[in-house]
């Protein structure tokens, strides 16, 4: 919590404000990039339109994501500033359940930020964090940004990469390299969402605990069944369903007029 802010429990937007505070706190710690705060605002707008809950298409994508991570030979969770701020302990749990490695990979890259993110992950229980300093010694030429610097034990050799809150270029390059890319992105229209193999259109603060829970449930399933679950997902269809849900909600809201209570709105 930043010093100047106390969020009243009864505030109708208390949860959303708490998430903002967490981001600001991590911004002050040098974990979140300036642009991470802007990116979060864009995410919030889509979350509002989606009803701030995990939808059916998102849940379907989470199952496919869990199955893809559990069947991968070299699964990797790629961590940026926002992901570390909002879901560090779930990242560590997911890594333990699926055997995925954790690699820090940043768009706005600096050694200091990578180290600050590593500290947050280690405080959350991570024992090994890839991609820090000289460890990011490999290059993926297809990627234009600083995200091209990767760890040869991680993203470079990964066959499945979880990329929460991503920019489209890297997703495109990783898919082009034949990797399964699992994105968490509240904006179903973003390039990342459209290009990923599996897109979970949900807030990272809800999607990550759900992904951990479903991975725990599926971990004992046989590999063939898991491969079937992963391959059955039609990503374009689930994205279409997410867009349709927004459309339906907006249509209902428009029919009700310009003002309705938050409680009423959450039921739509």
Site for ligand PTJ, residues 95 to 134, rule: CB under 6 A: 106-108
Helix axes 111-123, 81-98, angle to 10 degrees: 50
| Rounded Cα distance, 99 and 7, in Å | 37
Question: Does 46 participate in binding ligand PTJ (rule CB under 6 A)?
Answer: yes
Of 54, 71, 80, 180, which lies in the binding site for ligand PTJ, with binding defined by CB under 6 A? 80
Give the helix ranges, DSSP H, for 56-167.
56-71, 81-98, 111-123
Question: Does 165 participate in binding ligand PTJ (rule CB under 6 A)?
Answer: yes
Question: Does 167 participate in binding ligand PTJ (rule CB under 6 A)?
Answer: yes
Q: Which residue is nearest to ligand PTJ (CB)?
A: 43
- Cβ(40)–Cβ(25) under 8 Å? no
* Total residues binding ligand PTJ (CB under 6 A): 24
Residue 259 beta carbon to ligand PTJ: minimum distance, rounded to whole angstroms? 26
Residue 121 beta carbon to ligand PTJ: minimum distance, rounded to whole angstroms? 13
Residue 67 beta carbon to ligand PTJ: minimum distance, rounded to whole angstroms? 21
Which residues are paired to 200 by β-bridges? 184
Of 24, 39, 70, 143, which lies in the binding site for ligand PTJ, with binding defined by CB under 6 A? 39
Residue 63 beta carbon to ligand PTJ: minimum distance, rounded to whole angstroms? 18
Residues 6+ away with beta carbon under 8 Å from 205 = 19, 86, 87
* DSSP states of 144-195: -SGGGEE-TTTTTT-SEEEEES--HHHHHHHHHTT-EEEEE-S-TTSHHHHH
Site for ligand PTJ, residues 183 to 212, rule: CB under 6 A: 184-187, 190, 203-204
Which residues make up the interface to ligand PTJ (CB under 6 A)? 33, 35-36, 39-40, 42-43, 46, 80-82, 106-108, 165-167, 184-187, 190, 203-204
């Amino acid at each position: 919590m930043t010093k100047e802010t106390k969020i009243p429990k009864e505030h109708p937007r208390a949860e959303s404000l708490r998430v903002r505070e967490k981001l600001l706190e991590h911004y002050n710690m040098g974990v979140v990039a300036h642009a991470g705060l802007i990116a979060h605002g864009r995410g919030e707008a889509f979350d509002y339109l989606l009803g701030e809950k995990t939808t059916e298409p998102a849940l379907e994508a989470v199952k496919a994501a869990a199955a893809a991570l559990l069947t991968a030979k070299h699964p990797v969770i790629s961590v940026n500033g926002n992901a570390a701020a909002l879901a560090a302990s779930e990242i560590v749990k997911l890594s333990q359940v699926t055997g995925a490695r954790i690699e820090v990979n940043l768009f706005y890259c600096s050694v200091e930020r990578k180290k600050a993110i590593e500290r947050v992950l280690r405080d959350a229980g991570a024992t090994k964090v890839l991609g820090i300093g000289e460890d990011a010694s490999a290059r993926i030429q297809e990627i234009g940004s600083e995200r091209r610097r990767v760890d040869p034990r991680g993203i470079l050799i990964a066959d499945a990469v979880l990329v929460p809150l991503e920019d489209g270029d890297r997703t495109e390059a990783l898919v082009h390299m034949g990797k399964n890319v699992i994105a968490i992105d509240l904006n179903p229209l973003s390039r990342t969402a459209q290009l990923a193999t599996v897109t979970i259109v949900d807030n990272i603060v809800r999607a990550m605990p759900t992904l951990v829970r479903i991975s725990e449930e599926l971990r004992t399933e046989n590999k063939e069944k898991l491969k079937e679950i992963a391959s059955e997902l039609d990503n374009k269809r689930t994205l279409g369903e997410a867009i349709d849900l927004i459309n339906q909600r907006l249509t209902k809201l428009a029919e009700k007029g310009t003002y309705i209570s938050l409680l009423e709105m959450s039921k739509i």
